[in-house]
Structure 1
Amino acid sequence: MEQAHHHEHHEETQESHHQDHRQGGHHGHHDHEHMIEDFKRRFFVSVGLMIPILILSDMIQEWFGFELDFAYEKTILFVLATIVYVYGGWPFLKGSLDELRDKNPGMMMLIGLAISVAYFYSVAVVFGYGSGHDFFWELASLIVIMLLGHWIEMRSVMGASNALEQLVKLLPSEAHRIDGDKTEDVPVSELKEGDRILVKPGEQVPVDGTIIKGRSTIDESMLTGESVPVEKNEGEEVIAGSINQEGSMTIETTGTGDSTYLSKVIELVSEAQQSKSRAQGFADRAAKYLFYIAVGAGVITFIIWFLLGYSVGTAVERMVTVMVISCPHALGLASPLVVAVSTALSAKQGLLIRNRTQFEEARRLNAVIFDKTGTLTQGDFGVTDVYPSASYSEEEVLHLAASIETESQHPLARGVLREAEKRELKLSEVDDFGSMTGVGLEGKVEGAHVQVVSPRHIRDNGIDIDEETFAKLSEEGKTVVFVLKDGEWVGMIALADMVREEAKETVEALRERGVRSIMLTGDNQKVAHWVAEQLGIDDVYAEVLPDDKANQVKDVQADGSKVAMVGDGINDAPALAQADVGIAIGSGTDVAVETADIVLVQSNPKDVLSILDLSKNTYRKMVQNLWWAAGYNIVAIPLAAGVLAPFGIILSPAIGAVLMSLSTVIVAINARMLRI
């Protein structure tokens, strides 16, 4: 209930955040932190003032059997209560006005009504315009508990997303611009279309462009999801944000600033984040009904008591009692307490919840879309098959390849080395090591000229290999490298992005729960289907362009399915934002993590199951708590109105307060039970 109000605020913060972001600011995030600080400050000031208000209150004095009587006692009480009402109650009074403007009463108007009625009635009593007790202590305790509820909840709902800041950080801020025969470093913002830029090995590409000189392999996995670094030659396109791995190259700028691919991704994330539905928790609906019930019951109570011949003072006191009692403290804490416990629990289980509303939606999921690279697979290449030629053994082929690969940083090389380590092979020294640009590596091992090369080199030089086996491995989408010794083929090694064992178990467990698993990847059809077969996934979308991933999510959502997206790359960010629940693998890029609703800190896809369970249990506890909180009202309002007055039973504000405290305690205990 407060949640819903808070989420609206949260969404507004996000929207303003995106706008600020485009203007180069980070206001959104700071606004959110500033709001949390503001509630904390108001809470502590109000607690400090509540203590003297309680001591000075007639009703509390009656209960505890002591009496304070000194000059200006009531004036001091009035001043303290006024400060609490104005300073502590300000967020609720302001919220009431907003809800009134929207003609949509909710928790804010309910709290605003209770504290305003209590305050103005008490002022009248203190200054002798009314009979009975003042409600200043009720006012103070209500404001303190509601501020606490808001503060707990806002701390649980992590601040507005930094996704866009993270994306912008990915772009280098400077570029080496070639001007005639000299090179100068200039800010990327100064580059224009047609500028020539030098990109050195290991650097990020600063702008979208076309290679006009040089060739290299480029790691685009963060941007496109393609697991293997891509070879690029003159005339081919490169994307801003990708990493140049080997050679130097000169590129001609084709897109700068807003027109780059990365900026388009930024735009997509921003749009998807803003278009998220504003989930209205049903605590908010409860507050809406309670508001109407409180006003209705208050008015009816006044009319009936007045018609029965009681004085206006008595009728007003009954009416005020009903209105004050009808704002349940417990309702304000029902959701935030469960939220706080479930946030702590989820953190223990390695789940970082960034968006509460979406986390609560996870209980309704029908489909989970997994990105392949780095989520279902390890994102690291491993050797799946070694095929030696007739006169060599697997170990010999691996030994030659791994000896050469020790000098390389390429992902495929690391895969071959890991396999050699696993088989405990002793590697040889390499002399005259060199890179054959675009086709492989070479060097001298034990006096022989050894090359580890791509299929292209084999084709270009017409070398004889086992074509049938090569065709079979290619069919499975594996990457194959060939080992040559003195120009003669000695064997081939097939590598693939290795499937995670836990991914297999996750898919199986989801199927048992009636949730379907779908794979989405930028990788080619063959690779995707090979991985899907290993995991038992039936639905596969392969060769999906990054900016199309969000559309694929929309397609799955089209039949009303609730969809979660699990991913780890920049290319997944728009899809994570589009899904009903975006889940990022913690080891992924900062951008994916910042766009997601939930982050799996341990990067284990199995944690998706924990999310489903925790979401169901959290929701169940919230429903129970709301019933406890509302149940108090169902009993207290008629009693406060005087339904049992003919039998001499009238609920005094004091007993109302005891009942209210009791329901608050029950709600708090029930929230803790979530741990069990």
Structure 2
Amino acid sequence: MSSPHTQEAAHPKHHQHAAHDVTKVVAAAGSTHAEHAGHGGHDHAAMVADFRRRFWVSLILTPPVLLLSPMIRHWLGLTDILSFPGDGLVLFALSTIAYVYGGWPFLTGFTSELRKSQPGMMTLIALAISAAYFFSAAVTFGFPGEAFYWELVTLIAIMLLGHWVEMRSVMGASRALEELVRLLPDTATRIEADGSTQEVPISALQPGDRVIIRPGAKVPVDGEIIEGSSAFNEAMLTGESRPVSKTVGASAIGGAINGANAVTVKVIATGASTYLSQVIDLVKKAQATRSRTQDLANRAAAWLTYVALVVGFGTLFVWWIILGSPLEFAIERMVTVMVVACPHALGLAVPLVVAVSTSLSASNGLLIRDRAAFERARNLDATVFDKTGTLTEGRFGVSDVVLLSGGDDGEELAFAAAAESQSEHPIAHGIVAEAKKRGITIPKATEVSNITGEGITAKVDGQKIRIVSPGHLARQGSAIDHPKLNALEADGKTVVVLVRNGAPRALFALADIVRNESKEAIAELNRLGIKSIMLTGDAKGVAEAVSRELGISEYFAEVLPDQKSDKIKELQARGLSVAMVGDGVNDAPALVQADLGVAIGAGTDVAVESADVVLVKSDPRDVAAILGLSRA
């Protein structure tokens, strides 16, 4: 985030609320995520609303101050009409309100910068408005000279508008931590010592407690499965596109979604020790690192402050001492120089340019959140794509149907879809979706039953149907001997077997569906001379198959979430300017670490809030469009 001031200086309350220190966000898996989100959302919304209120109050005060100012009345030829007894005091009162209420963020920001001996934009603005106000007040009560009230209120209004617009554009990144917390449920079902169960807040859980994770529920804390087995959807946490089957002894990650079976988990870690808390910490540290880029802009503002002071007092010295002008005349010239030195245009133009460019790019399906990072896109050397949800759709789909005993694949698909139609498993969703996509009529299934951890059985049109894994059949002494099976599994695809009346009839291979637009995106980047690299938590076989299909020469496989930002750093250490394109929660640290973070619009809010650019249309081809726009 690039801005002419730090967020603390711009609004002291932001520093006081600490914008979600990790230990507070997840304190002992702390209070509920709703409480955290509510508090954090209030902080951010209150800050933006505060600038908005101050701007509108200052804007309302501006017209009467302008019309009551002698210089403006003279220019407009309205001196006789708008003059009345006590008009100077009215002008003073209105300007005092504007100075105290509208200028308060700048005055407190100046105090903060002064305490740190780091003068910046707040110091420059506070210096200008204070010089204008106190000199004008002195003029009102008898000091010779021309009041600067109209300059004071317009300067405050312009700066408030600029900071309000800027605050709206940059504060979103801090909400990433709040969105991460929402992955956790509010409560958990704890098993008491007497065997009874009780619904308790997750803040009440301690290591060693036992909790029940029901089908479809979110895992509340990190733990170890001590009873039962199930498949867990960890895509939001680890980037693993396929549900991960786990049984007794395996770890359960807080925030993952349980599949079809209930399991009992022993609590291992809570609060800041959990995996999700560590992801939050990564995002926080990455954002803090990014904020240091503001130092350059603040140093420039500091030098401008020194210049304003030197030139201002130099003006006083020249007019009063050297040229012998009256003191009041010299002071008036000094104040004029200090007010002019404040960058009116910069204070409004910079954030407005961001707003305008964001609006224009939005019409092309792009949302620009960080202008500085966006401008760096013109120098990119490589683009790193997260596989799941970015190059792929992030959902299971049928990629291959292999007939084992002849027949029609549509008929076999109809039987499989019928058996799976009542299941919530991702494999079932993929098979049913493929049948619907082909326009196949799905018959009704009866006597549907799960084979724990192995598959499903049902009766369809009087035939006994089983959909199981090849391993299940092998353990029963009915191993599938088909050359395509090994090839499909080598590509990292999930293969299930359709068995009708005891006879294996078809293999269904399922995989994360590659987006149709991904090949075009990679080809266009190659044409632009930008290297494409794939990053995934999937196994090497899956990564190799997808990269081969897309024409990507380099990939990182089996990358854990806390290693993704390290991979970006590794590429940057090779001298590459890197863009990161992703969508999952685990992508957030890498998105912030990259020179340009690009989030797929259909992705999680966390990734979007942590990114510099959002692809509204969820189209990887827009990455090339971003580069073209940045070079325009």
TM range (shorter): 0.7 to 0.9
Residue in structure 1 matched with residue 176 of structure 2 by the alignment: 163
Unaligned runs of 5+ in 1: 618-676
In structure 2, give the amino acid aligned to 1:499. V
Query: Aligned equivalents of 2:197 and 2:113: distance in 1?
Result: 60
Shift of 1:2: 9.8
Residues 493-502 or 304-313, more deviating: 304-313
Q: Paired residue for 2:562, among 528, 531, 547?
A: 547
Shift of 1:542: 0.8
Asked if structure 2 preserves the Cα contact closer than 8 Å seen for 1:194 and 1:254, the reply is yes
Q: Deviations over 1:528-567 (max 9, x none)?
A: 1111111122221111122222322222232343433322
Residues 220-229 or 527-536, more deviating: 220-229
TM-score by length of 1: 0.82
Q: Paired residue for 2:51, among 36, 39, 45?
A: 39
Q: Deviations over 1:306-336 (max 9, x none)?
A: 4244444444444333333333422222212
Asked if structure 2 preserves the Cα contact closer than 8 Å seen for 1:386 and 1:394, the reply is yes
Q: Deviations over 1:116-151 (max 9, x none)?
A: 333333344444443x43322222222222222222
Q: Paired residue for 1:501, among 516, 520, 530?
A: 516
Distance 1:31 1:206, change over 3 A: closer
In structure 2, give the amino acid aligned to 1:117. A
Mapped pair 1:94 → 2:112:
no
Asked if structure 1 preserves the Cα contact closer than 8 Å seen for 2:11 and 2:109, the reply is no
Count of matched residue positions in the alignment of Structure 1 and Structure 2:
616
Query: Aligned equivalents of 2:59 and 2:444: distance in 1?
Result: 74
Mapped pair 1:394 → 2:398:
no
Query: Aligned equivalents of 1:35 and 1:198: distance in 2?
Result: 41
Asked if structure 2 preserves the Cα contact closer than 8 Å seen for 1:122 and 1:133, the reply is yes
Q: Paired residue for 2:222, among 205, 208, 233?
A: 208
Residue in structure 2 matched with residue 52 of structure 1 by the alignment: 64
Shift of 1:523: 0.9
Shift of 1:499: 0.7
Residue in structure 2 matched with residue 61 of structure 1 by the alignment: 73
Residue in structure 1 matched with residue 498 of structure 2 by the alignment: 483
Asked if structure 1 preserves the Cα contact closer than 8 Å seen for 2:227 and 2:263, the reply is yes
Residue in structure 1 matched with residue 212 of structure 2 by the alignment: 198
Asked if structure 1 preserves the Cα contact closer than 8 Å seen for 2:375 and 2:630, the reply is yes
Query: Aligned equivalents of 1:264 and 1:325: distance in 2?
Result: 48
Distance 1:360 1:433, change over 3 A: same
Query: Aligned equivalents of 1:569 and 1:324: distance in 2?
Result: 48
Percent identity of equivalent pairs: 52
Q: Paired residue for 1:524, among 513, 533, 539?
A: 539
Query: Aligned equivalents of 2:299 and 2:513: distance in 1?
Result: 49
Mapped pair 1:16 → 2:18:
yes
Q: Deviations over 1:569-594 (max 9, x none)?
A: 23323333433443333333344344
Shift of 1:355: 4.8
Residue in structure 1 matched with residue 459 of structure 2 by the alignment: 444
Shift of 1:472: 1.7
1:161 counterpart SS class: helix
In structure 1, give the amino acid aligned to 2:214. K
Greater Rg by CA: 1
Distance 1:117 1:62, change over 3 A: same
In structure 2, give the amino acid aligned to 1:81. S
In structure 2, give the amino acid aligned to 1:569. G
Asked if structure 1 preserves the Cα contact closer than 8 Å seen for 2:469 and 2:496, the reply is yes
Query: Aligned equivalents of 1:387 and 1:10: distance in 2?
Result: 63
Distance 1:29 1:354, change over 3 A: farther
Q: Paired residue for 2:389, among 358, 365, 374?
A: 374
1:261-276 equivalences in 2 (<5 Å): 261-276=275-290
Query: Aligned equivalents of 2:181 and 2:340: distance in 1?
Result: 51
Shift of 1:403: 3.3
Asked if structure 2 preserves the Cα contact closer than 8 Å seen for 1:433 and 1:444, the reply is yes
Asked if structure 2 preserves the Cα contact closer than 8 Å seen for 1:28 and 1:160, the reply is no
1:286-365 equivalences in 2 (<5 Å): 287-305=301-319, 306-355=321-370, 357-365=372-380
Unaligned runs of 5+ in 2: none
Q: Deviations over 1:381-420 (max 9, x none)?
A: 2222222235434344334333323333322223223333
Asked if structure 2 preserves the Cα contact closer than 8 Å seen for 1:569 and 1:588, the reply is yes
Residues 413-422 or 502-511, more deviating: 413-422
In structure 2, give the amino acid aligned to 1:52. P
Shift of 1:527: 0.8
Query: Aligned equivalents of 2:50 and 2:441: distance in 1?
Result: 64
In structure 2, give the amino acid aligned to 1:21. V
Mapped pair 1:563 → 2:575:
no
1:125-144 equivalences in 2 (<5 Å): 125-130=139-144, 132-144=145-157
Asked if structure 2 preserves the Cα contact closer than 8 Å seen for 1:2 and 1:107, the reply is no
Q: Deviations over 1:287-314 (max 9, x none)?
A: 4444344333334444444424444444
Query: Aligned equivalents of 1:256 and 1:317: distance in 2?
Result: 64
Distance 1:290 1:378, change over 3 A: same
Asked if structure 1 preserves the Cα contact closer than 8 Å seen for 2:540 and 2:558, the reply is yes
Shift of 1:154: 2.1
Query: Aligned equivalents of 1:239 and 1:348: distance in 2?
Result: 40
Distance 1:388 1:159, change over 3 A: closer
Shift of 1:500: 0.3
Residue in structure 1 matched with residue 600 of structure 2 by the alignment: 585
In structure 1, give the amino acid aligned to 2:167. M
Q: Paired residue for 2:196, among 182, 189, 194?
A: 182
Residue in structure 1 matched with residue 126 of structure 2 by the alignment: 112
1:342 counterpart SS class: helix
In structure 2, give the amino acid aligned to 1:17. A
Residue in structure 1 matched with residue 97 of structure 2 by the alignment: 83
Query: Aligned equivalents of 1:605 and 1:327: distance in 2?
Result: 43
Query: Aligned equivalents of 1:2 and 1:143: distance in 2?
Result: 22
Mapped pair 1:221 → 2:244:
no
Residue in structure 2 matched with residue 642 of structure 1 by the alignment: none
Q: Deviations over 1:425-449 (max 9, x none)?
A: 4444434332222222223344433
Shift of 1:226: 1.8
Q: Deviations over 1:480-503 (max 9, x none)?
A: 222223333323222221110112
Distance 1:61 1:221, change over 3 A: closer
Residue in structure 2 matched with residue 253 of structure 1 by the alignment: 267
Distance 1:77 1:484, change over 3 A: closer
